[in-house]
Chain A
Amino acid sequence: MYLSHKHIKQLYGIANHLREDVITMLEKAGSGHSAGSLGMADIFAGLYFGVLNHNPKKPLWSDRDRVVLSNGHICPVQYAALARAGYFPLKELETLRDFKSRLQGHPHRESLPGIETTSGPLGSGLSQGIGIALAGRMDHKKYQTYVILSDGEHDEGQTWEAVLLAGKLKLNSLTAIIDRNNIQIDGFTEDVLPLGSLHEKYEAFGWHVIDVDGHNIEDFINATYEAKAVYEKPTAIIAHTIPGKGVSFMERSYAWHGAPPSKEQARAALRELRTLGGKIRGENE
């Protein structure tokens, strides 16, 4: 699929909307994870609006590409992407983390259309993605399985069990997208439990590895094409992102990993997002 300049520009617009949604949802919920949700907005815009073969009106269509969000705590950005893609009404985003809401604090498979697996407890998404990809291979399906992981969850032993197995099975229909933002709850990843080169580690486990700037949507989409073209190996796309991207006072700070903005902070964040960092006039100014 060739993406026109116009389409790429639209994707950046969608990413910005996703960030606005994230800020609004988290402020209203009063809890949740800001930094990772904002940092992955460009990837989610690229994935749901430029890459996936899916039909939001038929969320259980058997040939759909699958998305597994392993680091379930950044679900606000996935919920926003699902709503904007048409899986459920945009208005429902306001109910994040509310009693009886379909938008659970961490994603639950049976609650919301578009959620393929339950996640939140870190380290189990890649394994579930392997199961989904393997079932597709057994049934001669053509769908691609995308698993989104955080860098922090590579502390979990289970992640590496899964990395080993996908290499052994040569699961070429599996693409891992790793949010390499270098933060986790207690600090920088290289201080908490140094991960070193994920690129070399994945390669050593038999994967094809591509590094991309996680805020360059075109590069990310091209990487997914490359992943589909690689036979006999699963692919890891290491997306280097800036946590809190788009909201200057949140960027690069691990303090925002698990915190929501206050009313004041949300107002400031939305002003920044709606004026593209002061480059244009916001619609309400």
Chain B
Amino acid sequence: MLHISQNLSHDIFSKSVPTAALRDGYGEGLLEAGQNSQVVVLTADVEESTRTHTFHTLYPDRFIEMGVSEQNMASVAAGLAVSGKIPYINAYAVFSPGRNWEQIRTTIAYNNANVKIAGHHAGISTGADGATHQAIEDVALMRAMPNMMVLTPCDAIEARKMTVQAALINKPIYIRLQREKTPILTTKETPCTIGKSEVFWMPKSKKYSVVLFAMGPMVYQALLAARELEKLSIAAVVVRVGTIKPFDEKTTIEWLKKAGAAVTIEDHTIYGGLGSVVSEVAARSCPTPIEMVGVADVFGQSGTAHQLYKAYHLEVDDIVRAAKKAIKRV
């Protein structure tokens, strides 16, 4: 069942579960963060689709339209940040941090400049635009970089909270966002502490068989899978990973030990993302059978998010299968 102390939404399992896009939550968060007059917003010719247009209307003097120049945007933001500003830079994740990775590395991360990088339209769920616009490597790119923090909100509400909190942390931060509307899982009262993973589903039986670590909106799929597993009398725990870096090793180790088998679930390549970070912790601290549900080293293609999740094995059934497989390996 849903973990009571998390104050999650009661509608999660209803057919008419309310949905909203992470980018909408982000846009609202920007308005709240923008009450601090040091916050400035930059966009690379994607103002409306990155939900920065409302900020633009409200704070025109603190909005900078860069044109299609993600590399320039990263370094201009670095210059603003070393001069006391708190810039949020906005583009699709394939271009930022994809195209401008080295500018982010040198002028933001190594400079230790207080820049927030919003990677929009991340994941294969970006859909119809096709593989060119589906960032499936962004977390790996950002995680490998010293000084950089990596946030992966699971719904629009969490995206809003993290966007606001990011302004209060004087460090480079990457925030991964998705385009499509996804179920609202959390409420205003759900804990959202950067650097802390949370248990969202606790099985009825305390004889834990498997722990499901999920990142981003895939947390929803993990919850559905945990419910299915319960029907099969398999006690699964769901851990929502909202911060990939710094990673909550303590919670991870606790549940790897308690469950003895694990599945990682991400709309991202299985190389370098959530699957990797959990495996690294397991290898160092408590070797555990782990199965990875994610994009398996292939590019996506055009289609709806639903069609693509089916084709690339990111559905609830795939998670259930992976959980059984991991348990069998114990």
Contact = CB atoms under 8 A, between A and B. Distances in A.
Interface in B4-39: none
Interface residues on A, range: 20 to 34
A109 B81 CA distance: 12
A135 B40 CA distance: 10
Contacts of B75: 124, 127-128, 131, 158, 162
Contact of B83 (A120, A123, A127, A135): A135
B233 interface: no
B111 A118 contact: yes
B146 interface: no
> Which of A157, A162, A165 has the most chain B CB atoms inside 10 A of its CB?
A165
Interface of A is mostly: helix
Interface string B102-124: 11001100111000000000000
Nearest to B40: A138
Interface stretch (B61-69, B163-171, B213-221): B61-69
B79 interface: yes
A117 B111 contact: yes
A214 interface: no
Given A117-B111, A158-B103, A138 B71 contact: no
B64 to A, nearest CB: 7
Interface string B81-112: 11111010000000000000011001100111
B112 A109 contact: yes
A121 interface: yes
A224 B75 CA distance: 25
A121 B72 CA distance: 13
B106 A121 contact: yes
B82 A116 contact: yes
Interface in B43-87: 61-62, 64, 66-67, 69, 71-72, 74-85, 87
A134 interface: yes
Given A124-B107, A158-B103, A135 B79 contact: yes
A157 B71 contact: yes
Nearest to B79: A131
A121 B102 contact: yes
Contacts of B82: 109, 116-117, 128, 131-132
A117 B80 contact: no
B47 to A, nearest CB: 15
Given A127-B75, A161-B69, A109 B80 contact: no
Interface of A: 68, 108-110, 116-121, 123-124, 127-136, 138-139, 157-158, 161-162, 164-165, 168
7 contacts: A120-B106, A127-B103, A127-B107, A131-B83, A134-B79, A157-B71, A158-B72
Interface of B: 40, 61-62, 64, 66-67, 69, 71-72, 74-85, 87, 102-103, 106-107, 110-112
